[in-house]
Structure 1
Amino acid sequence: MTRVIAIANQKGGVGKTTTTVNLAASLAAMKRRILLVDIDPQGNATTGLGLEKHGQKTTLTDVLLGEAHVTEILQKLPDSSLHVLPGSPEVTVAEVKLMNSERREYRLREALSPLRGAYDYILIDCPPSLNMLTVNALVAADGVIIPMQCEYYALEGLSALVGTIDRITQTANPELQVMGLVRTMYDPRSNLSRDVSEQIHAFFRNKVYNTAIPRNIRLAEAPSHGLSVLEYDKGSRGALAYLALAAEMLRKDSSKVAADGEQAW
Structure 2
Amino acid sequence: MTETTAAPTIGTQLSGSPQPPGEETEQERQERVRADLEQDRPDQCRVIAMCNQKGGVGKTTTTIQLAGSLAEYGRRVLVLDGDPQGNATTGFRVGRPGPNDLTQAKVVLDVLDPLPLIRETRVPGIYALPASIDMSGLSTALRDTGAGLSLYRIMVDKLRPFFDDILLDQRPALDMDTDSQLVACDSAIIMTDVDEWSMDGLKMQLAQQARAMKRAERDDFDVIGLIIGRVQKPMGKFDTEVYKLLQNHRRVRCLGEVPVRAADLKEARNKGLPVTHYKKTARTDTAEFFRDIAQNAGLVKAA
TM-score range, shorter chain: 0.7 to 0.9
Matches of 1:133 and 1:222, distance apart in 2: 30
CA contact (8 A) 1:214 1:237 kept: no
Matches of 1:157 and 1:121, distance apart in 2: 26
Q: Deviations over 1:228-260 (max 9, x none)?
A: 222334233222211111122236x88xxxxxx
CA contact (8 A) 1:38 1:85 kept: yes
Residue 123 of structure 1 and its aligned partner are, at CA, apart by 0.6
TM (norm. structure 2) is 0.77
Confirm whether residue 11 of structure 1 aligns to residue 57 of structure 2.
Answer: no
Aligned to 2:141: 97
Which of 26, 33, 52 aligns to 2:76? It is 33
- SS of residue paired to 1:198: helix
Which of 179, 197, 213 aligns to 1:169? It is 213
The structure-2 alpha-carbon separation of the partners of 1:78 and 1:221, relative to structure 1 and needing over 3 Å to count, comes to: closer
Of structures 1 and 2, the one scoring higher in RCO (CA 8 A, sep 6+) is 2
Aligned to 1:208: 254
Which of 138, 141, 151 aligns to 2:185? It is 141
Matches of 1:175 and 1:168, distance apart in 2: 12
CA contact (8 A) 2:248 2:254 kept: no
TM (norm. structure 1) is 0.87
Letter of the structure 2 residue corresponding to residue 200 of structure 1: L
The structure-2 alpha-carbon separation of the partners of 1:240 and 1:93, relative to structure 1 and needing over 3 Å to count, comes to: same
Q: Deviations over 1:2-42 (max 9, x none)?
A: 11100110111100110111111110111111111001011
Aligned to 1:257: none
Residue 205 of structure 1 and its aligned partner are, at CA, apart by 5.9
- SS of residue paired to 2:197: coil
Matches of 2:294 and 2:62, distance apart in 1: 10
Aligned to 1:243: 291
Confirm whether residue 52 of structure 1 aligns to residue 95 of structure 2.
Answer: yes
Aligned to 1:198: 244
Aligned length: 252
Matches of 1:188 and 1:175, distance apart in 2: 37
- Where in structure 1 are there 5+ consecutive unaligned residues? 255-265
- SS of residue paired to 1:235: coil
Confirm whether residue 86 of structure 1 aligns to residue 130 of structure 2.
Answer: yes
- SS of residue paired to 2:225: strand
Letter of the structure 2 residue corresponding to residue 176 of structure 1: F
The structure-2 alpha-carbon separation of the partners of 1:175 and 1:224, relative to structure 1 and needing over 3 Å to count, comes to: same
Letter of the structure 2 residue corresponding to residue 243 of structure 1: R
Matches of 1:151 and 1:224, distance apart in 2: 28
Aligned to 1:75: 119
Identical columns (%): 31
Residue 208 of structure 1 and its aligned partner are, at CA, apart by 1.2
CA contact (8 A) 1:53 1:87 kept: yes
Aligned to 2:155: 111
Aligned to 2:108: 64
Letter of the structure 2 residue corresponding to residue 37 of structure 1: L
Residue 78 of structure 1 and its aligned partner are, at CA, apart by 4.2
Matches of 1:78 and 1:20, distance apart in 2: 16
Matches of 1:74 and 1:219, distance apart in 2: 24
The structure-2 alpha-carbon separation of the partners of 1:132 and 1:206, relative to structure 1 and needing over 3 Å to count, comes to: closer
- SS of residue paired to 2:298: helix
Aligned to 1:258: none
- SS of residue paired to 2:139: helix
